[in-house]
Chain A
Amino acid sequence: MAMLSRLASRSSHLGRTLLLPRSLCCSTGGRHFASSAGDEGPTFTVETSVPFVGHRCEPPSREVETTAKELMGFFRDMSLMRRMEIAADALYKAKLIRGFCHLYDGQEAVAVGMEAAITRKDAIITAYRDHCIFLSRGGNLVETFAELMGRRAGCSNGKGGSMHFYKKEGGFFGGHGIVGAQVPLGCGLAFAQKYLREETVTFAMYGDGAANQGQLFEALNISALWDLPAILICENNHYGMGTAEWRAAKSPAYYKRGDYVPGLKVDGMDAFAVKQACKFAKEHALKNGPIILEMDTYRYHGHSMSDPGSTYRTRDEISNVRQERDPIERVRKLILLHDLVSAAELKDIEKEIRKEVDNAIAEAKESPLPDPSELFTDIFVKGCGTEVYGVERKENKILI
């Protein structure tokens, strides 16, 4: 994949450094969030929007350490994710993306904050609202759009679609269509990490809708029994498709639903709160076993592209959240407050991101559709010595 390298330029103005982190284009080299070497810029402390609320645990401090580089990185990455999802919306309406498409705009802070607290050796698994998590784990834009359009250059060769993105080398285990089924898988990943003594953790993500699934409690019980390093992240965007949380859960305090498992309630629209919580959770999980983090977040789009998102909530509610809690605006205010770059420069970054996304879409459109023989690949692991063929035996025969 082509790597668009970004220029790091330094302003000559005393005390101001403009650092543009590397793009999200490199799939194996991986984009580094706040952890790469290089000039971090000034360090400062940020206060989270609200204090954390703990269940059976002492919540961490509201004060979060960060650097200029990390802050700029948050802005850039969240803007890229936002732009990508909006572009996907347009592609869907143009019928280039078909089937189900669940967009993440509004929830970007969770993806970005979590990634800032962990390494690629830690594992993340989520459900079908997975495009942005895929990006944060090292996926690139071309693979994303190509997969959404069902092309060969897609991350699953066009055979997975929107709900089945995976990145093995980035520690991203998908991408799952059945609500809640990814949580036992995530606990299995945590088991493997403990078995192999890796000192890493797994973040198993699910939504407020999935929080009522039985298999979640089964897996939590086993994880607590066996002290597995599993961190359950409930991305509470308050609506399970069209059903508000108070209509689906007797107790919508999802961070408390683990009962004997500790929990933390986090403002999911504040990337620094998410980062702090995930750091806290990782330390906890490695010592004491599972913990639940409830991220109070919001999605601007409907549940999926087939859902206008306005029949079960008011437009006022949506615009209020956009005005008061938007994750990108919060970071923009912080950047301007600390005088890292000017507002105009931020707009320039957004313009460049728009171009980057448009270029990626154009490149993805060039990729061809999969070959018919791909229908029969990756069903069985190679070396079975069996022939696989379709209903029409004369065509589409391959040896696997």
Chain B
Amino acid sequence: VFKRFVEIGRVAFISFGPHAGKLVAIVDVIDQNRALVDGPCSGVRRQAMPFKCMQLTDFVLKFPHSARQKCVRLAWEKENINEKWAATRWAKKIEAREKKAKMTDFDRYKVMKAKKMRNRIIKHEMKKLQKMSSKKGKKPEKPEKSEKAQKSEKVQKAQKAQK
């Protein structure tokens, strides 16, 4: 049922508090509610932190309990946690949310136009397929779907560039 456990070396994401949004590694467990935590590569000093504000990630580092910061840093850099984290969907969602919140009025307009264009293309292709299927009875045309996918990719790129 549970896949991520609190263990020495577990990398956790801090969800609220003064260090919200940063990654830390669990170095030791103090008691039922707190852990000794250290984030040398993310700017978090070695400190006690309650489990409640930590959300466990998939990454585990290898170092002995109560290892000093240098060891934690070495393990962190060896595993390249920062890059791996940036590649996860979790981090990307966070980034997308931040970008959306920072959008100015002009950006919102540009996104609206891009979305409109994209949806129009998709609808156009859908209608085509529907027409085909209604006309020819039972012959679904699959090569047309790839065209639609290409066109929509172009629009997505435009959207991302504008963001």
Are both chains from one complex?
Answer: no
